[in-house]
């Protein structure tokens, strides 16, 4: 029998479990305190009776995410991790070190089924969803291995977070729980390719996280060619969901726009983008695309990026250019895992 995934449990669920097995309720709080510290074995929970630790060991899987590879960038403060899950599947993540602390990029699915043509995560399709506990497990694995505390989380690893909505929402609640991991929602960014109805559902949760939309193109025909999800939720539908999100939460949306030379980086494309989003509570993050060998896409030249930025600014849109991090360690989504699977 597959053991139960204890890192997905809320404090309340642990309390119910303790009561169910005839233990005192306060044991749940003790255990929860250990879990959010990232213990890898129940024996580390030293204030729990030995008998209970044995029972927990028999019932639950604790150490559900193991680091099997670590690559540090020579160029910048970026480390890439390959993790193995309990069933042997692998996902990847990145840790970035900034002046204000550590930021981690986590995966939400093994592979991805969204099919974006520039993205390496989707090449083999989606294998399975991650549980909330497996997303938490990525934080614990890195914190324990490096002896650090993470201060920012981006859901931008492999997978589409809103295609795994229940688990991702549970993860957000766990990571934010003041009685547990206690990371403020404002330190979390969720990135989506644009699943409009789930954006609206998330808005209704009224969490103060940052929503990032992978836009990449501002006309329907070309966006559909790059991102098949646009067939289901076109730009009009997506923008309606984004407006709903900002109205409900008062949070500024980030539009991510990966610039691919000769594909979506021309002045015409910049004007289209300006027209589409001007006046919205938003900013644009321009990303020189990481080259993916399986596809024939090249990053835009610096001059095209600067020109694109200038046009957006003429529409009154705050625009930043993302620093390219970890390009020497295959830091773009899915690239390390693909190397691993092929190797
Ligand atoms: N599925 C989610 C989150 C994972 S992808 C989403 O689509 O937002 C995280 C970000 O990396 C997205 O903006 C995605 O479009 C971008 N991305 C994918 N492949 C890339 C590449 N080769 N170079 C640069 N960015 C890429």
**134 and 251 co-located in one domain:** yes
Q: Binning pLDDT at 50, 70 and 90, where does residue 144 land?
A: very high
β-pair type (4-5, 60-61): parallel
Ligand 1 centroid to residue 157 C-alpha, Å: 8
Instruction: Take atom 1 of ligand 1 and give the residue whose Cα is closest.
Output: 160
Same structural domain, 54 and 108: no
Please state whether the predicted TM-score (pTM) of the whole model is above 0.85: yes
Confidence at residue 9, expressed as pLDDT on a 0 to 100 scale = 98
- The CATH number assigned to the domain holding 52 equals 1.10.150.530
Q: Which domain holds residue 34?
A: 4-61
- Three-state DSSP state, 134: helix
For the CA of 193, the nearest atom of ligand 1: 7
Query: What is the per-residue pLDDT for 327?
Result: 60
Specify the pLDDT at position 123: 87
Provide the mean pLDDT of the chain: 94
Token pair listed for 32: 């929860």
Position 6 pLDDT exceeds 80? yes
Set 15, 23, 92, 256: catalytic member: 92
Cα separation values, 142 from 39, 153, 182, 209, 242, Å: 12, 12, 17, 22, 33
pLDDT of residue 294: 73
Whether residues 74 and 140 fall in one domain: yes
Residues 192, 157 within the same domain: yes
One domain, residues 186 and 307? yes
Number of structural domains the chain divides into:
2
Q: Are residues 22 and 77 in the same domain?
A: no
Same domain, yes or no, for 12 and 111? no
pLDDT (0 to 100) of residue 335: 66
Handedness of CA 256, 259, 260, 262 (dihedral sign): positive
Residue 343: per-residue pLDDT: 60
Report the nearest-CA residue for atom 22 of ligand 1: 290
Largest Cα separation within the chain, whole Å, is 68
Same domain, 252 and 332: yes
Q: Do 33 and 152 fall within a single domain?
A: no
Q: Which residues of 145-184 are buried (b: 16+ CB within 10 A; e: fewer)?
A: ebeeebebbbbbbbbbbbbbbebbbbbbebbbeeebbebe
Indicate whether 333 pLDDT > 60.
no
Distance 211 CA to ligand 1 centre (A): 14
Note the pLDDT tens digit of each residue in 83-117. Answer: 999 999 999 999 999 888 999 999 999 999 999 99
End position of a domain, from candidates 61, 76, 100 = 61
Average pLDDT over residues 33-58: 97
Handedness of CA 215, 216, 217, 220 (dihedral sign): negative
Pocket of ligand 1 (CB under 6 A): 116, 118-119, 156, 160, 191-193, 214, 256, 258, 287, 289-290, 292, 332-333
- Percentage of the chain beyond pLDDT 90 is 86
Report the alpha-carbon distance of residue 232 to residue 153 in Å, rounded: 28
145 and 219 part of one domain: yes
Instruction: Look at residue 154 and give its three-state secondary structure.
Output: strand
How far apart are the CA of 123 and the centre of ligand 1, in A? 13
Residue 174 has pLDDT above 80, yes or no: yes
Q: What is the mean pLDDT of residues 339-343?
A: 69
Same domain, 46 and 195: no
- Average pLDDT value for residue range 39-64: 97
CA of 214 relative to ligand 1 center, distance in Å: 7
Query: Closest Cα to atom 13, ligand 1: which residue?
Result: 214
Quick: pLDDT tens for 229-284. 999 999 999 999 999 999 999 999 999 999 999 999 999 999 999 999 999 999 99
Angle (CA) 170-172-177 rounded to 5° is 95
pLDDT at 339 over 90: no
The CA-CA-CA angle for residues 183, 187, 189, to 5°, reads 120
CA of 257 to the centre of ligand 1 (A): 9
Residue 76 confidence (pLDDT): 76
- Is 92 one of the catalytic residues? yes
297 Cα nearest atom in ligand 1: 22
pLDDT at 23: 97
Last residue within a domain, chosen from 43, 61, 79: 61
Q: Is the predicted pLDDT of residue 332 greater than 70, yes or no?
A: no
Band of pLDDT at residue 342, cut at 50, 70 and 90: low
* Residue nearest to ligand 1 atom 8, measured at CA: 192
- Which residue CA neighbors atom 6 of ligand 1 most closely? 192
Is residue 282 among the annotated active site residues? no
Domain boundary among 46, 61, 76: 61
pLDDT higher than threshold 90 for residue 331: no
Atom nearest to 214 CA in ligand 1: 13
Q: Are residues 174 and 266 in the same domain?
A: yes
Q: Kindly report the number of other CB atoms within 10 A of residue 120's CB atom.
A: 23
Give me the CATH number covering residue 153.
Answer: 3.20.20.70
Of 43, 40, 47, which Cα lies nearest the Cα of 65? 40
């Amino acid at each position: 029998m597959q053991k139960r995934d204890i890192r997905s449990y809320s404090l309340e669920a642990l309390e119910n479990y303790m009561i169910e097995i005839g233990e005192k309720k306060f044991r749940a709080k003790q255990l929860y305190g250990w879990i959010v510290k990232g213990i890898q074995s129940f024996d580390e929970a030293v204030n729990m009776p030995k008998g209970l630790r044995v029972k927990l060991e028999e019932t639950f899987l604790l150490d559900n995410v193991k680091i099997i590879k670590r690559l540090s960038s020579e160029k910048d403060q970026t480390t890439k991790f390959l993790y193995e899950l309990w069933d042997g599947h692998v996902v990847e993540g990145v840790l970035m070190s900034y002046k204000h602390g550590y930021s981690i990029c986590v995966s939400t699915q093994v592979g991805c089924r969204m099919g974006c043509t520039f993205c390496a995560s989707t090449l083999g399709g989606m294998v399975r969803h991650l549980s909330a506990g497996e997303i938490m497990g990525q934080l614990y694995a890195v914190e324990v291995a490096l002896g650090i505390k993470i201060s920012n989380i981006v859901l931008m690893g492999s997978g589409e977070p809103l295609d795994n909505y229940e688990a991702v929402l549970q993860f957000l609640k766990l990571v934010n729980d003041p009685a547990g991991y206690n990371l403020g929602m404002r330190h979390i960014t969720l990135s989506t390719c644009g699943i409009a109805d789930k954006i609206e559902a998330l808005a209704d949760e009224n969490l103060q996280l940052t929503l990032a939309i992978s836009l990449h193109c501002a006309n329907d025909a070309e966006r559909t060619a790059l991102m098949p999800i646009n067939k289901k939720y076109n730009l009009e539908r997506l923008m309606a969901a984004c407006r709903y999100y900002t109205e409900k939460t008062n949070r500024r949306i980030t539009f991510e726009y990966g610039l691919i030379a000769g594909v979506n980086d021309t002045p015409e494309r910049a004007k289209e983008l300006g027209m589409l989003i001007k006046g919205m509570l938003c900013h644009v993050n321009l990303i020189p695309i990481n080259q993916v060998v399986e596809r024939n896409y090249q990053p835009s030249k610096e001059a095209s990026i600067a020109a694109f930025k200038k046009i957006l600014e003429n529409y009154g849109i705050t625009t930043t250019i993302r620093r390219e991090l970890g390009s020497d360690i295959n830091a773009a989504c899915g690239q390390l895992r693909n190397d691993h699977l092929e190797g």
